[in-house]
């Protein structure tokens, strides 16, 4: 019998250490799948030539456009090792009846930790304090620090209240933060059960001391927060983003920080990554940045690779994958439903 052929872009290994160990292949081997993972050139034409007869695509490194997806003759699944599915044209995959999988549960806790780190570091002015000591300006900045309010009783507002935001809310609760959230696709009872009061987007922007952005990079969320929204913020408020850069109009965010419409920002994600040398955010004192590394931990690389391997193994056995972002297509594939079934994050991810 022919091997189950998985095609992936060459050299697109993940940046955080996995020791180069083939966890995906181990997962496939454990399921007794006779599979091969073939690395294909990243140039579109060459990739298509190599991937045309693939049984599965392991998507990473390059954008999976409609051009690539429409050229796949017998692909049964496109699997991603990330939560965000913005690198795949899911609409095109759905039109071709190809399920797209992601890794929704593997590193939520790390991202939530990172968000809390940015919240505390921006609020308590960690970078300035560190610099003050190293530059022998012991307690020089103290008058400014004495303006910092008490964290307890401040309001944390979430834009989108998915898995990461809920994990942040669990961490923020013992700090005594009041919490509100805007999420048009989520049942309000989920917010209430998580200690968060449902609100409109305008209320989140205007009432929060921290606005934490978690919207997915769906086309309708691109540039979702604009100048109008930033103008609504309290001048003392802090903006956090561990979601996706393009969900924010970055020029408007820069203007807001320059004009004092808000006080500070903590950003793990940017509109263009890595940023250009002349991105003004890189020079701003009231910004803390990280390099889209919120998910990084010793566990994350292994966990997401094992999960990708498990999804590919299921499809190789003609079974439904566990986390499908376009679950409607499963009904039309030849893949079999099995128990327990988790339809994943559904159409709003
Ligand atoms: N910085 C990182 O390393 C990192 C790590 C993980 C996830 N992410 C990003 O964070 C995003 C959120 O992750 P998650 O695990 O919480 O996702 P999730 O799918 O659990 O939650 C997404 C939420 O967004 C809501 N939503 C959908 N469309 C919306 C809209 N138009 N307006 C407002 N809300 C809308 C959904 O109802 C859902 O509750 C991901 O899409 C991913 O891009 C970044
Ligand atoms: O969406 C995610 O899972 C994180 O942002 C990490 O994604 P990446 O590995 O594609 O950067």
Q: What is the per-residue pLDDT across 271-296, written as a single tens digit (0 to 9) for each?
A: 999 999 999 999 999 999 999 999 99
Q: How do residues 98-139 score in pLDDT, each as one tens digit? A: 999 999 989 999 999 999 999 999 999 999 999 999 999 998
Number of residues that this document lists for the chain: 349
Residues 98 and 114 in one domain: no
Could you tell me if 189 and 54 lie in one domain?
Answer: no
Domains of the chain: total:
2
Mean pLDDT computed over 175-202: 98
In a 3-state reduction of DSSP, which class is residue 333? coil
Distance, in Å, from the CA atom of 251 to the CA atom of 245, rounded to the nearest integer, reads: 11
Q: Which atom of ligand 1 is nearest to the CA of 349?
A: 19
Task: Based on the fold, state whether residues 247 and 327 are members of the same structural domain.
Answer: no
Quick: pLDDT tens for 54-110: 999 999 999 999 999 999 999 999 999 999 999 999 999 999 999 999 999 899 999
- HSE of 30 in the Cβ direction (CA atoms, 13 Å)? 13
Q: Are residues 280 and 304 in the same domain?
A: no
In a domain, 343, yes or no: no
pLDDT band at residue 301 using 50, 70 and 90 as cut-offs = confident
Check which CATH number belongs to the domain holding 273 and give it.
3.40.50.720
* Domain presence at residue 30: yes
Closest residue to atom 43 of ligand 1, CA basis: 84
Lowest mean pLDDT segment, chosen from 76-85, 136-145, 179-188, 232-241: 136-145
The reply to whether 244 belongs to the active site is yes
In a domain, 214, yes or no: yes
Using the predicted structure, report yes or no on whether residue 14 has a pLDDT greater than 50. no
Query: How many angstroms does the Cα of residue 229 sit away from the middle of ligand 2?
Result: 26
R_g (Cα) of the chain, nearest Å: 22
Which domain does 41 fall in, by range? 4-106+297-332
Among residues of the chain, what percentage have pLDDT more than 70? 94
Shared domain check, 279 and 162: yes
Residue 337 is assigned to a structural domain of this protein: no
Say if CB 345 and CB 327 are below 8 A apart.
Answer: no
Known catalytic residue: 292? yes
DSSP 23-90: HHHHHHHHTT--EEEEEE-SSHHHHHHHHTT-SEEEE-SS-B-HHHHHT-SS--EEEESSS--TTB-H
The average pLDDT across 189-212 equals: 98
Q: Which atom of ligand 2 is nearest to the CA of 103?
A: 3
Distance 304 CA to ligand 2 centre (A): 10
pLDDT at 195 over 90: yes
**Residue 345, domain member (yes or no):** no
Confidence of residue 18 (pLDDT cuts 50, 70, 90): very low
- Whether 139 is a known active-site residue: answer no
Distance 162 CA to ligand 1 centre (A): 6
* ipTM of the complex, rounded to two decimals: 0.98
Check: CB of residue 97 under 8 Å from CB of residue 228.
no
Domain annotation covers residue 338: no
- Could you tell me if 17 and 43 lie in one domain? yes
The whole-number pLDDT of residue 19 equals 47
Ligand 2 binding residues, C-beta < 6 A: 82-84, 292, 295
Please answer whether residues 163 and 216 qualify as being in contact, where contact means their C-beta atoms are separated by less than 8 angstroms: no
- Separation of alpha carbons 186 and 18, rounded Å: 35
CB contact burial 216-235 (16+ within 10 A = b; e otherwise): bbbeebeebbeeebbebbbe
172 and 249 belong to one structural domain: yes
- What is the maximal distance between C-alpha atoms in the chain? 74
Same domain assignment for residues 258 and 128: yes
pLDDT at 347 over 90: no
């Amino acid at each position: 019998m022919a091997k189950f052929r998985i095609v992936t872009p060459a050299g697109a290994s993940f940046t955080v250490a996995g020791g180069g160990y083939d966890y995906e292949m181990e997962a496939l081997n454990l399921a007794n799948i006779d599979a091969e993972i073939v690395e294909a050139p990243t140039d579109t034409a060459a990739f298509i030539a190599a991937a045309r007869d693939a049984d599965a695509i392991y998507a990473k490194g390059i954008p999976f456009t409609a051009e690539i997806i429409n050229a796949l003759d017998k692909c049964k699944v496109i699997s991603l090792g990330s939560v965000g599915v913005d690198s795949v044209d899911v609409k095109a995959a759905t039109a071709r009846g190809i399920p797209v999988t992601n890794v929704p549960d593997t590193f939520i806790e790390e991202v939530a930790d990172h968000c809390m780190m940015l919240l505390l570091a921006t609020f308590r002015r960690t970078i300035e304090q560190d610099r003050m000591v190293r530059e022998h300006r012991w307690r020089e900045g103290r008058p400014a620090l004495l303006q910092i309010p008490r964290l307890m009783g401040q309001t944390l507002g979430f834009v989108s209240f998915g898995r990461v935001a809920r994990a942040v809310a669990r961490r923020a609760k013992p700090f005594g933060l009041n919490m509100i959230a805007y999420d048009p696709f989520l049942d309000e009872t989920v917010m209430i059960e998580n200690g968060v009061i449902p609100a409109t987007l305008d209320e989140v922007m205007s009432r929060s001391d921290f606005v934490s952005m978690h919207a997915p990079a769906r086309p309708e969320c691109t540039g979702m927060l604009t100048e109008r929204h930033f103008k609504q913020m309290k001048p003392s408020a802090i903006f956090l983003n561990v979601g996706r850069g393009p969900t924010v109009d970055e020029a408007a965010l820069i203007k807001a920080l320059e004009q004092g419409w808000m006080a500070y920002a903590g950003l793990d994600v940017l509109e263009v990554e890595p940023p250009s040398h002349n991105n003004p955010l890189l020079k701003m004192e009231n910004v803390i940045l990280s390099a889209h590394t919120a998910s990084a931990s010793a566990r994350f690389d292994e966990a997401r690779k094992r999960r990708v391997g498990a999804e590919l193994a299921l499809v190789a056995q003609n079974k439904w994958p566990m986390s499908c972002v376009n679950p409607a297509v499963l009904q039309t594939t030849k893949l079999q439903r099995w128990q327990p079934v988790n339809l994943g994050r559904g159409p709003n991810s």
